[in-house]
Structure 1
């Protein structure tokens, strides 16, 4: 392992959300809730974005939350109601607790989890 003295934990959750809407407000609230739920330290305002106006490949809304411990990124695809969440941290976090929070918030019944 390269640089073993730096602790790193990465989790990717992908699935289908069953919310009525996935908009900027929803993404902002989700990332704030996840930050608190995992006990991370917010160091910047949440970045929320949508490539809709400039992309033929990706339509949806996404966001990034920077943490003192690292950060997380969320991407959604509105047509398929699909999401990808990438969580990266130098501080240990409980994977099962994170997955439970995500699936509850997104009402996700179909999802996959990968620890990298």
Structure 2
């Protein structure tokens, strides 16, 4: 991707995968707070946990968001498929391996893929 503002540090990471078990609101809240701590991010709002279950027959699951001083993280899950997407945006350099290790351990992933946005 062409870097329109090279003087601004920003990292973007998308992680997707399959969990071997379902999650509840309390687990997701703890998971997002733990991820923030593992990355040394300072929480300014959240975690906000939500579910489209009451509004959609297609997308069933939980989502969550935390705003960090350093930007934020969003999590989306599909309970019927035990599938998740995690989107991280950071204005400080991310340690991808820390994220992957935390996600694999926390969500007990059976399969995981990831992509970091690279700027030219």
User: Do the structures match in fold with TM over 0.5?
Assistant: yes
Question: How large is the Cα RMSD of the aligned pairs?
Answer: 0.8
Equivalent residue number for residue 17 of structure 1: 19
**Structure 1 segments unaligned to the other structure (5+ residues):** none
> Which aligned pairs between 1:12-51 and structure 2 lie closer than 5 A?
12-19=14-21, 21-51=22-52
Paired residues of 2:46 and 2:65 also in contact (CA < 8 A): no
Match of 1:82 in 2: 83
Match of 1:103 in 2: 104
Does the CA contact (< 8 Å) of 2:15 and 2:87 recur in 1?
A: yes
Q: Secondary structure at the match of 2:32?
A: helix
Contact 2:60/2:78 (<8 A) preserved: yes
TM-score by length of 1: 0.96
After TM superposition, where is structure 1 displaced by more than 2 Å over at least 4 residues in a row? none
Superposition deviation, residue 55 in structure 1: 1.1
Q: Offset of 1:16 from its aligned partner?
A: 0.3
Following superposition, the deviation at residue 28 of structure 1 comes to: 0.3
State the TM-score, normalized to the length of structure 2.
Answer: 0.93
The Cα shift of 1:45 comes to 2.4
The equivalent of 1:73 in structure 2 is: 74
For this pair of structures, how many residues does the alignment match?
Answer: 115
Q: 2:10 aligns with which of 8, 11, 16?
A: 8
